[in-house]
Amino acid sequence: MIVSMEFWLTSLVVVASPGPGAVYTVAAGLGGGRRAALVAALGCTLGIVPHLLAALTGLAAVFQTSPLAFAALRMAGVVVLLLMAWQSLRNDTLLGGASARRSPGAVLREAVVLNLPNPKLSLFFLAFLPLFVPAGTEAPTRLMLGLGGIFMLLTLAVFAAYGLLAAGLRDTLASTRARAWIRRGFALAFVGLALKLALTTP
């Protein structure tokens, strides 16, 4: 399978742009260190699978052509982001306070759920992915699966880099006061993403 440079660049821009998954992975790295960062990156990557499958089966088209369905998906994402903001403000769980260390399974589940209502992914797989499938391709579904797999690998690599970089700063930002300010910063980031998502149109 030959992948065009345009696909690599488009995918990299989409993956690297700030979003809920990137913010969460950075928070996991700051709070739980390298292991938590890598688990969060994996969870966010696994959260892409339903979007890819939905695009391949036509469900994403339903969401994009039905204002009610798209609004429901969008509001679900807003609720998840606001819950993350509340969690950031109320306790040290997100940033790994001494009394609140979460298991890798909990981090993985939270990362997957965070990416499920992300309409950016549905839009990418519905609007952009078909552009890289040449006309007359004998097995377009298989090609789209391959391209989706490449997108997921890029996501895992970029998010892991974000998380590991944050984990490297963990000791520097270990004081209680620093964690309090970081929690507020992440809460504001999640609220900002929620507002941006609430104003998103199909």
Q: Where are the domains of the chain?
A: 5-66+92-175
Q: Which pLDDT belongs to residue 100?
A: 43
Q: Which pLDDT belongs to residue 102?
A: 72
Task: Tell me how far apart the alpha carbons of residues 57 and 69 are, in angstroms, rounded to a whole number.
Answer: 16
* Contact predicate 137/44, CB 8 Å: no
Read off the amino acid at residue 58. G
Which is nearest to 53 in space by CA: 129, 155, 160, 162?
129
Scan for tokens 């993956």, then name that residue.
Answer: 15
Regions in the chain scoring below 50 on pLDDT: 96-100
Q: Which pLDDT belongs to residue 46?
A: 96
Task: Tell me how far apart the alpha carbons of residues 137 and 131 are, in angstroms, rounded to a whole number.
Answer: 12
Task: Tell me how far apart the alpha carbons of residues 60 and 125 are, in angstroms, rounded to a whole number.
Answer: 8
pTM above 0.85, yes or no: no
Q: Which pLDDT belongs to residue 76?
A: 72
